[in-house]
Amino acid sequence: MAISISKFKNSCLDVIRRVEASGQSVSITRRGKVVARLAPSFQATQSVDAKPWQQLRALGGALLAEPSESVVREEDFEALR
């Protein structure tokens, strides 16, 4: 996610709470160029209550499907049987 420096200034605490809750970093931009990046601390990403996919996102990983979805197409799944 990216946010302009002026919007960050006006909503700093909300942005920090969002980073803390989601584990995703935020890029702060000035005139369209990234000047800083706000990322959760390593300790914040190591929550014991976090689901595995939340921990993956916190480490910068990307999910190919939602936790309840499969990344394997139905026809591929049948071929693997």
Hey, which residues does 33 pair with through a beta bridge? 30
pTM for the model: 0.51
Over residues 2-48, the pLDDT tens digits come to 999 999 999 999 999 998 888 889 999 999 999 999 998 765 555 56
Q: Domain-by-domain residue ranges, the chain?
A: 2-80
Hey, which residues does 34 pair with through a beta bridge? 29
pLDDT value, residue 35 = 95
